[in-house]
Amino acid sequence: MTMHAAHAPMSQLDDRALDRVADYFKALSEPSRLKLLNALREGERNVTELTAHLGSSQANVSRHLTLLLTLGMVERTSRGTSAYYRIADPRIYALCDLVCGQIGRRLAAEEQTRRGFLRPAGRRRPA
CATH code (residue 74): 1.10.10.10
- Asked whether residue 74 is domain-assigned, the answer is yes
Q: What was the pLDDT predicted at 50?
A: 97
- Asked whether residue 55 is domain-assigned, the answer is yes
- Asked whether residue 113 is domain-assigned, the answer is no
**Residues of the chain below pLDDT 50:** 1-4
- The domain containing residue 28 runs over which residues? 15-89
Residue of 4, 49, 81 whose CA lies nearest to 65: 49
- Asked whether residue 56 is domain-assigned, the answer is yes
Q: What was the pLDDT predicted at 126?
A: 60
Q: What was the pLDDT predicted at 3?
A: 45
Q: What was the pLDDT predicted at 118?
A: 80
The number of folded domains in the chain is 1
* pTM of the predicted model as reported, rounded to 2 decimal places: 0.78
- Asked whether residue 6 is domain-assigned, the answer is no
Indicate the angle between helix axes 47-54 and 31-39, nearest 10 degrees. Answer: 120
- Asked whether residue 54 is domain-assigned, the answer is yes
Q: What was the pLDDT predicted at 127?
A: 59
Return the number of other C-beta atoms located less than 10 Å from residue 45's C-beta.
17
* Beta carbons within 8 Å of 33's beta carbon, 6+ residues apart: 27, 64, 67, 68
- Asked whether residue 82 is domain-assigned, the answer is yes
- Asked whether residue 4 is domain-assigned, the answer is no
